A and B are shown apart, each in its own frame.
Chain A
């Protein structure tokens, strides 16, 4: 008897065959002794297993077992602690400066322009924005009583944005 036939007999025993194939299996069992013996063995094994699974008891007390479950549920449901933002001058300045490498470069250019123009910071007046495509950042230092405004080219992806941006440094 080939494996396909053996598996078909098992499926018949388990009620997994469609009606037509089940009828064929019944006929085979009725006329073939080998098929009968195989089905009987499979049926006896299933009968031996049914209702005779070992009764296994949990080897822990109710309270101990539950305490671990409760602890794990609490751990998984605990809100994740979000670190408070650092609100110092250094943190604020770092957050402002870090993503704006182009702005830093523009500031350098602005300071350079100041030096080259011969003007002292106190003498600078307000400058006119030369381009609609320019953006501006403002930084005020209360301690130094200084306000810096620098401009950048919105359309330029390069880290260094050369002038014609003009910085306005206003000292109070």
Chain B
């Protein structure tokens, strides 16, 4: 008896492009949409995690983003890549969650100092390049540790500018604040990161 070739249930979609899958999903093809989810789920989850710093919340928000993207598929016209479009949805969901959380918590004195600004101007300039003599994996780990030390607002502006490569005005629109606030927060976040990476690098050398 010849061996039976078992077709993966995913075989029909894995060779299709994102555009083809989006076209199918718009017609109600759940299989096509599932393939899109499978392709981009890590990226969407990673973006949610970078903002929320909590696994469970990031999973929930990323799933909510997928549900919303299914509901709003007709609005996607290909101005950006599909992955970028869903990333924008999850970013907005994360920001909504952070705003809700902020309404119910008291800011620490350190956070108030950060918000009021001025602290970053007193930090000494870091002259050492943090990428020197640090292996890629080690640097990633150090960056993650430093990101944890930032407030949500400063981490968000850093994520949107450095990782999502958004311009100031787009960040301002996304975060519902002024361009001046974006610039101040970004400046503080960068200077704080420089100081943290320099300290970590010093610890590594010693």
Give the interface of A toward B (CB within 8 A): 3, 6-7, 10-11, 14, 16, 34, 37-38, 40-42, 44-50, 52-60, 62, 65-66, 68-70, 72-73, 76
Cβ contact within 8 Å between A42 and B190: yes
Q: Find residues 169-195 in chain B having any chain A CB closer than 8 Å to their own CB.
A: 183-184, 186-187, 190-191, 193-194
Using CB atoms, name the residue of chain A closest to B44. A58
Q: Determine whether B6 belongs to the interface, using a CB cutoff of 8 Å to chain A.
A: no
Provide the bound-state CA to CA distance between A11 and B186, in Å: 10
Chain A interface: which of B11-19, B30-38, B91-99, B103-111? Answer: B30-38
In the complex, which of the residues B49, B64, B128, B136 contacts A56, with contact meaning CB atoms closer than 8 Å? B49
What's the count of A-B pairs with C-beta under 8 Å?
Answer: 121
Give a binary string over B104-130; 1 marks a CB under 8 Å from any A CB, 0 the rest: 000000000000011001000111111
Q: Which of B41, B117, B118 has the most CB of A within 10 A?
A: B41
**Closest Cβ–Cβ distance, residue A83 to chain B (whole Å):** 26
**Closest Cβ–Cβ distance, residue A58 to chain B (whole Å):** 4
Chain B hits for A70, CB < 8 A: 30, 34
Give a binary string over B135-161; 1 marks a CB under 8 Å from any A CB, 0 the rest: 010011101100000000000001001
Cβ contact within 8 Å between B67 and A73: yes
Cβ contact within 8 Å between B130 and A44: yes
In the complex, which of the residues A54, A66, A76 contacts B141, with contact meaning CB atoms closer than 8 Å? A54
User: Given that A49-B158, A49-B193, A73-B67 are contacting pairs, would A66 and B34 also be in contact in the complex, using a CB cutoff of 8 Å?
Assistant: yes
Give the interface of B toward A (CB within 8 A): 30, 34, 37-38, 41-42, 45-46, 49-50, 55, 59, 62-64, 66-67, 70-71, 117-118, 121, 125-131, 136, 139-141, 143-144, 158, 161-163, 167-168, 183-184, 186-187, 190-191, 193-194, 197
7 cross-chain CB contacts under 8 A: A46-B162, A50-B162, A59-B59, A62-B41, A68-B63, A70-B34, A72-B63
